[in-house]
């Protein structure tokens, strides 16, 4: 099972079942080890996660009785943190610190998934969402633990896209499972390249470009069409953290896969060190089995990050 770093992570989901499968992969192991897990989510997500954990062999009745597994309604929990409809730091300090750090002290480790910030965004309270993110960030810096913030994938498109880009940018990484089954891409068939400046509209432009191209090329598999925009968002986020001002996205076919490669304009004289590769690995610890492989390399033009998705062509 994948092991999450003690970090502030973001997870985009499509369906309750897909979300449950991913979270079960992250949380079943810790529960079986006697560690604490807390979930703050919509009712249908909580039900799906409970069912997935039981199917994975977790005795939820025993875990709940022991206080190691806590599942809370997102609206009720969020409202308990608000004063006059705004996030209140004193209330947050008292409630969040007690719940999370108390669970960590009891079992030695705590793992948290929450949808409160996405709920604030959905309510139109963007300022409140950013304030709430800041509060969680302060708590994480004081006592690190894995915190996954869940967002619906449809938030990556439309009027909320730039807002979600801004909120997600304060996280350390997206959460995806990476696989070493295949190596760096070799010779690939020609695809398409898009060159864009890094800025507020870059994420939306790249996601739209990826979906349009895959649809044009005959990709009708909803998994690929959903996964590709999320992966390209992470590639862009990694390039942005490196200080890139422009990026070139390349999509190519390689055997039975689609390879997405993002070349930034940050030039380095040395190859990536172990710390940079580890950071790239954490960035690709994402959403179940998204990327079939990934890599980072230095070129004379800049740093190239790539990810491979399994190709499902229409028949």
Which residue did the predictor score with more confidence, 271 or 45?
Answer: 45
Average pLDDT rounded to a whole number, residues 177-181: 35
Which residue did the predictor score with more confidence, 138 or 73?
Answer: 73
pLDDT of 175 reads 54
DSSP at 2: -
pLDDT of 170 reads 61
Task: Give which of 135, 93, 90 is closest to 116, Cα–Cα.
Answer: 135
pLDDT of residue 141 exceeding 90: no
Q: What are the structure tokens assigned to 283, written together?
A: 């960035």
Show Cβ contacts of residue 210 under 8 Å, excluding neighbours closer than 6 positions.
Answer: 228, 229, 232, 249, 251, 260
45 neighbors 51 (Cβ within 8 angstroms): no
Q: Which of the four pLDDT bands, split at 50, 70 and 90, describes residue 179?
A: very low
- Tens digit of pLDDT for each residue in 81-140? 999 999 999 999 999 888 999 999 999 999 999 999 999 988 888 889 888 988 998 898
* DSSP string across 211-278: HHHHHHTTB--HHHHHHHHHHHHHHHHHHHHTT-SEEEEEEEEETTEEEEEEEES---SS---HHHHH
Q: Where in the chain is the domain with CATH 3.30.565.10?
A: 189-310
pLDDT of residue 185 exceeding 50: no
pLDDT of residue 153 exceeding 70: yes
Cα–Cα distance, 190 to 93 (Å, whole number): 54
Give the length of the chain. 315
- Tens digit of pLDDT for each residue in 241-292? 778 888 888 877 665 677 888 888 876 555 555 555 455 545 545 433 465 6
- Average pLDDT score over the chain: 78
Show Cβ contacts of residue 147 under 8 Å, excluding neighbours closer than 6 positions.
Answer: 7, 8, 9, 112, 113, 114, 136, 140
- Tens digit of pLDDT for each residue in 14-28? 789 888 988 998 899
Which residue did the predictor score with more confidence, 182 or 294?
Answer: 294
Q: Where in the chain is the domain with CATH 3.40.50.300?
A: 8-174
Average pLDDT rounded to a whole number, residues 211-220: 72
pLDDT of 30 reads 93
Which architecture does CATH list for 8-174?
A: 3-Layer(aba) Sandwich (3.40)
> In the beta sheet, which residues pair with residue 148?
9, 113
CATH topology of domain 189-310: Heat Shock Protein 90 (3.30.565)
CB atoms within 10 A of CB 34: 13
Cα–Cα distance, 211 to 156 (Å, whole number): 12
């Amino acid at each position: 099972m994948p092991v999450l770093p003690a970090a502030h992570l973001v997870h985009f989901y499509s369906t309750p079942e897909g979300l449950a499968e991913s979270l079960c992969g992250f949380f079943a192991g810790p529960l079986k080890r006697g560690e604490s897990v807390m979930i703050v989510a919509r009712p249908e997500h909580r039900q799906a996660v409970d069912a997935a954990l039981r199917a994975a062999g977790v005795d939820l009745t025993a875990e709940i009785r022991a206080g190691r597994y806590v599942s809370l309604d997102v609206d009720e929990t969020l409202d308990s943190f608000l004063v006059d409809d705004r996030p209140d730091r004193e209330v947050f300090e008292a409630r969040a610190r007690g719940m999370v750090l108390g669970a960590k002290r009891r079992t030695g480790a705590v793992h948290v998934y929450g949808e409160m910030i996405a709920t604030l965004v959905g309510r139109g309270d963007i300022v409140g969402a950013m304030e709430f993110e800041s509060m969680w960030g302060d708590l994480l810096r004081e006592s690190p633990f894995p915190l996954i913030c869940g967002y619906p994938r449809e938030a990556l498109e439309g009027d909320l896209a730039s807002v979600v880009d801004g909120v997600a940018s304060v996280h350390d990484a997206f959460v995806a499972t990476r696989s070493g089954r295949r190596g760096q891409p070799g010779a690939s068939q020609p695809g398409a390249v898009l060159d864009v400046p890094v800025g507020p509209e870059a994420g939306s432009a790249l996601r739209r470009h990826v979906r349009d191209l895959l649809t044009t090329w005959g990709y009708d598999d909803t998994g690929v069409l959903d996964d590709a925009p999320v992966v390209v968002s992470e590639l862009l986020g990694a390039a942005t953290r490196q200080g890139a001002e422009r990026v070139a996205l390349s999509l190519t076919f390689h055997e039975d896969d689609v390879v997405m490669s993002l070349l930034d304009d940050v030039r380095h004289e040395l190859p990536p060190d172990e710390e940079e590769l580890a950071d790239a690995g954490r960035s690709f610890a994402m959403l179940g089995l998204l990327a079939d492989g990934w890599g980072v390399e230095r070129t004379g033009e800049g740093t190239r990050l790539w990810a491979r998705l399994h190709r499902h062509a229409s028949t």
